[in-house]
Amino acid sequence: MVKRISKFADRVYELTRRIPRGKVMTYGQLAKLAGNPKAARAVGLLMKQNPDAPNTPCHRVVAADGSLTGYSGGGVSVKESMLKDEGVIFNGEKVDLGISRISGVT
DNA sequence: AAAATGACGGTGT
DNA sequence: TACACCGCCATTT
């Protein structure tokens, strides 16, 4: 029924789905592109409520400082492994936003 | 309609 | 770097 949960959620999922492999997007950045720079919380909420279905790689979404947060697909550990496996550069326990963070969405 | 919830972000200590 | 507090928002009950 392809029911749009809401304009915001639909937008967030769309952007999340567009995240290229080997790169990550922060909740704040995602929220901003979605239309509300302060809705980072709402964005994370949607990720958790929705499965990490193959169409929504929420594992490519990290916190603003590059630290990983929850992951309904198993936990942060799994998320970290996935990102590394995709080519994301990790700086200790955080993602190297200076390299893996998306700057030009295009 | 109102209250409660949460995978955030920023700032201060 | 780690922890605590506040502010913001959308979703769900």
Q: Write out pLDDT tens, residues A7-49.
A: 999 999 999 999 999 999 999 999 999 999 999 999 999 999 8
Q: Which one of the listed residues A24, A33, A43, A58 is annotated catalytic?
A: A58
Q: Give the contacts of A55 (CB within 8 A, at least 6 positions apart).
A: A13, A17
**DSSP label at residue A36:** -
Question: Looking at residue A104, what is its pLDDT?
Answer: 65
Nucleotide nearest A45 (Cα, C1'): B6
Q: What is the pTM of this model?
A: 0.90
Residues whose CB falls within 7 A of nucleic chain C?
A: A 5-6, 8-9, 36, 38-42, 45-46, 49, 94
